[in-house]
């Protein structure tokens, strides 16, 4: 990390064109809100306590969302332009000297590599400021970069103020700069409100510094996507697509097989080990961590899931805040939620739901079961249709099933209840009392056969 760098992230704007009740920078792309992406990138070049996010619109909500990232905040109560937004940070410790980098909260695709390059070129060039620019086929709406004969920035002219000739310029201002902080602050003080809009334009500082002999030099980036500013939900979707595409590409280059990668959704924070195979339409979200040689079937959804090596989540399963041990399996159509754990080699089959339940090593629950608030030992067999009645209308009650127990199909285990190790529960039993170790529990009506009954009935009808 370069020493003596601070970052200000402008994120106070309304984002009117999102047409949303939610502040623009809180909208999500690639599995995180826009501002979080920018803060994470900023951390690449500055310590969190030297990063200041300028918030305004829904300031409290925005702060609450990204507080955990360790940055500072400044509130701009009235949005009076980009120059004003930076000015409100003047009193912050840490921004007064060294290099000051300005980023936008709605510009989430800027790469860490480009940020490092911005600092490197700025320092090597020994100038007052460096501004990131790019060349667009259509520059409408952006501030245009007016260069002098020496290739330095003479001015940044906003669309509304541009002459016909300046509108032809296709090199645009990204709004991302690196300043010599000690030079910036006095000149920023001198910026006057724009006569047309009444806003203080940060771009005006470039001309003021230049008049005093302090140069600003452009750094042209090739990939215009990097400085894509999100204004509408159409651009939001585009940013999301770019994040996802980049993420699956990284995973594939790292040794993960992804079938139909264009259909797969992976959040930026997800980790996947080598030789894992991910099927079409799968979603890997949040802080999901998948080991090596795992399988994630078509349309499976993993959210904050942990899969140890060789675990398999088959098609159409949902694993939320839950964990699969080595070579454990779930699905197709399985559901794990709220801290469920399927230990090494255990199997959960189709239409089985586990909530806050631990299924021990090598145990099986293969068909149509609900297991809630249960602790199940090793090598247990849970028959088809088994239900833990964990809720009594007021609170949730636990079920304990010991090692090697065999729970017959369609059993109803009324919690709190304990099924001892090595015991059998006969199919269709309603278990309300503890089952001792190695016992057989039969909790159902005895079967009676009425000989010839059906035949007699048919004959009666025929008469
Ligand atoms: C700005 C630049 C323009 C550049 C463009 C790139 C100026 C005057 N213009 O224009 O040259 O081409 O970005 O996208 O700087 N913000 C605040 N407080 C404010 C105003 C804005 O925090 O009072 C924040 C916004 O939340 C946003 C960013 O600053 O993140 C940019 O503001 P915006 O109004 O979108 O600037 P543009 O008109 O797009
Ligand atoms: Ca903008």
pLDDT category at 14 given cuts 50, 70, 90 is: confident
Percent of the chain exceeding pLDDT 70 equals 99
Closest-lying ligand to the alpha carbon of 108?
1
Assigned domain for 456 exists: no
Does residue 319 contact residue 305 with C-beta atoms inside 8 Å? yes
The H or E element containing residue 220 is: strand 216-220
- pLDDT attached to residue 227: 93
Strands (E), 221-363: 257-258, 265-266, 271-272, 277-278, 283-285, 289-290, 295-296, 301-303, 306-307, 312-313, 318-320, 323-324, 329-330, 335-337, 341-342, 347-355, 358-359
Residue 390 beta carbon below 6 angstroms from any ligand 1 atom: no
**Would the pLDDT of 110 be above 90?**
yes
Contacts of 274 (CB under 8 A, 6+ apart): 254, 255, 256, 292, 293
If you average pLDDT over residues 102-116, what whole number do you get? 96
Residues 301 and 425 in one domain: yes
Let me know the angle formed at the C-alpha of 240 by 115 and 35, rounded to the nearest 5 degrees: 50
Contacts of 18 (CB under 8 A, 6+ apart): 24, 27, 231, 232, 233, 236
Ligand 1, atom 11: closest residue by C-alpha:
143
Residues 307 and 216 in one domain: no
299: left (phi over 0), alpha (psi -120 to 50) or beta: left
Neighbouring-strand partners of residue 58:
56
**Would the pLDDT of 55 be above 60?**
yes
Q: What is the pTM of this model?
A: 0.89
Q: How far is the CA of 175 from the centre of ligand 2 (A)?
A: 9
Q: How far is the CA of 15 from the centre of ligand 1 (A)?
A: 10
Assigned domain for 452 exists: no
If you average pLDDT over residues 69-75, what whole number do you get? 97
pLDDT category at 462 given cuts 50, 70, 90 is: confident
Model pLDDT for residues 340-386, shown as the tens digit of each residue = 999 999 999 999 999 999 999 999 999 999 999 999 999 999 999 99
Please count the structural domains in the chain: 2
Model pLDDT for residues 149-169, shown as the tens digit of each residue = 999 999 999 999 999 999 999
Assigned domain for 454 exists: no
- pLDDT attached to residue 370: 98
Structure tokens at 394: 């007021």
CA distance 352 to 409: 13
Assigned domain for 254 exists: yes
Residues 218 and 345 in one domain: no
Residues 73 and 38 in one domain: yes
Peptide bond preceding 415 in cis form (omega within 30 of 0): no
Residue 155 beta carbon below 6 angstroms from any ligand 1 atom: no
- pLDDT attached to residue 2: 56
Among 13-17, 20-24, 308-312, 358-362, the least confident range: 13-17
- pLDDT attached to residue 1: 53
Ligand 1, atom 39: closest residue by C-alpha:
142
Residue-number span of the structural domain to which 313 is assigned: 244-441
Residues 157 and 288 in one domain: no
pLDDT category at 243 given cuts 50, 70, 90 is: very high
| Residues with catalytic function | 367
- Cβ-in-10-Å burial (0-12, 13-18, 19+) of 233 comes to middle
> CA-CA distances (angstroms) from residue 92 to 5, 262, 333?
14, 44, 53
Residue 229 beta carbon below 6 angstroms from any ligand 1 atom: yes
Residues 419 and 278 in one domain: yes
Task: Quote the mean pLDDT of the chain.
Answer: 96
Residues 389 and 362 in one domain: yes
Assigned domain for 267 exists: yes
Residue 108 beta carbon below 6 angstroms from any ligand 1 atom: no
Assigned domain for 76 exists: yes
CA distance 340 to 362: 15
> CA-CA distances (angstroms) from residue 107 to 9, 37, 276?
10, 9, 33
Most ligand 1 atoms within 8 A of CB, residue of 57, 82, 88 to mutate:
82
Model pLDDT for residues 175-213, shown as the tens digit of each residue = 999 999 999 999 999 999 999 999 999 999 999 999 999
Burial of 208-226, coded b for 16+ CB within 10 Å and e otherwise, reads bbbeeebbbbbbebeeeeb
Residue 10 beta carbon below 6 angstroms from any ligand 1 atom: yes
Q: For the domain that residue 330 is a member of, what is the CATH number? A: 2.160.10.10
Model pLDDT for residues 421-442, shown as the tens digit of each residue = 999 999 999 999 999 999 999 9
Q: For the domain that residue 191 is a member of, what is the CATH number? A: 3.90.550.10
Pick the closest to residue 290 from 305, 280, 279, 300 (CA basis). Answer: 305
The H or E element containing residue 424 is: strand 424-425
Residue 84 beta carbon below 6 angstroms from any ligand 1 atom: yes
Note the Cα 361 to chain centre separation in Å: 31
Contacts of 196 (CB under 8 A, 6+ apart): 160, 161
Residues 148 and 257 in one domain: no
Structure tokens at 284: 């890997």
Report CA Rg, the chain: 31
Residues 370 and 300 in one domain: yes
- pLDDT attached to residue 463: 81
Structure tokens at 255: 């040794």
Assigned domain for 111 exists: yes
Q: How far is the CA of 44 from the centre of ligand 1 (A)?
A: 23
Residue 80 beta carbon below 6 angstroms from any ligand 1 atom: yes
Residues 95 and 145 in one domain: yes
Model pLDDT for residues 389-409, shown as the tens digit of each residue = 999 999 999 999 999 999 999
Ligand 1, atom 37: closest residue by C-alpha:
142
- pLDDT attached to residue 400: 98
Q: How far is the CA of 142 from the centre of ligand 1 (A)?
A: 10
Residues 314 and 408 in one domain: yes
Does residue 103 contact residue 86 with C-beta atoms inside 8 Å? no
Q: Is 302 helix (H, G, I), strand (E, B) or coil?
A: strand
CA distance 250 to 258: 11
Give phi and psi for 61, each to the nearest 5: -65, -40
Assigned domain for 446 exists: no
Residues 211 and 281 in one domain: no
Q: How far is the CA of 82 from the centre of ligand 1 (A)?
A: 5
């Amino acid at each position: 990390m370069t020493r003596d760098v601070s970052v200000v992230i402008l994120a106070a704007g309304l984002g009117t064109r999102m047409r949303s009740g939610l502040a623009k920078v809180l909208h999500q792309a690639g599995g995180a809100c826009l501002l979080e992406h920018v803060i994470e990138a900023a951390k690449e070049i500055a310590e969190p306590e030297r990063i200041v996010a300028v918030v305004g619109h829904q300031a409290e909500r925005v702060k609450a969302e990204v507080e955990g990232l360790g940055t500072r905040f400044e509130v701009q109560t009235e949005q009076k332009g980009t120059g004003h937004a930076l000015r409100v940070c003047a009193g912050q410790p840490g921004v007064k000297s060294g290099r000051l980098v300005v980023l936008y909260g709605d510009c989430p695709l800027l790469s860490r590599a480009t940020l490092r390059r911005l600092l490197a070129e700025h320092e090597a060039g020994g100038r007052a400021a460096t501004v990131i620019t790019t060349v667009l086929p259509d520059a409408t709406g952006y501030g245009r970069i007016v260069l002098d004969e020496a290739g330095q920035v003479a001015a940044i002219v906003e669309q509304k103020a541009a002459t016909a000739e300046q509108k032809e310029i296709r090199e645009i201002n990204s709004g991302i700069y690196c300043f010599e902080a000690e030079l910036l602050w006095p000149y920023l003080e001198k910026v006057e409100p724009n006569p047309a809009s009444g806003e203080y334009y940060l771009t005006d500082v470039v001309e003021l510094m230049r008049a005093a002999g302090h140069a600003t030099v452009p750094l042209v980036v090739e990939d215009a996507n990097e400085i894509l500013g999100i204004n509408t939900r159409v651009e939001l979707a585009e940013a999301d697509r770019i994040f996802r595409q980049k993420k699956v590409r990284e995973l594939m280059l790292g040794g993960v097989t992804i079938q139909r990668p264009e259909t797969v959704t992976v959040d930026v924070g997800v980790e996947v080990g080598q030789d894992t195979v991910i099927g079409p339409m799968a979603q890997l979200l949040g802080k999901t961590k998948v080991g090596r040689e795992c399988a994630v079937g078509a349309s499976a959804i993993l959210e904050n899931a942990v899969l140890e090596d060789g675990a398999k989540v088959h098609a159409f399963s949902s694993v939320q805040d839950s964990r699969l041990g080595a070579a454990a399996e779930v699905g197709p159509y399985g559901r794990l939620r709220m801290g469920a754990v399927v230990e090494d080699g255990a199997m959960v089959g189709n239409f089985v739901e586990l909530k806050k339940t631990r299924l021990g090593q090598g145990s099986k629950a293969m068909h149509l079961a609900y297991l809630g608030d249960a602790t199940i030992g090793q090598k247990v067999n849970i028959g088809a249709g088994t239900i833990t009645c964990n809720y009594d209308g007021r609170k949730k009650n636990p079920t304990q099933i010991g090692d090697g127990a065999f729970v017959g199909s369609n059993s109803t285990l009324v919690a709190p209840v304990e099924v001892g190790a090595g015991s059998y529960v006969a199919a269709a039993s309603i278990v309300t009392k503890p089952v001792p170790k190695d016992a057989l529990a039969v909790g159902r009506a005895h079967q009676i056969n009425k000989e010839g009954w059906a035949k007699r009935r048919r004959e009666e009808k025929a008469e």
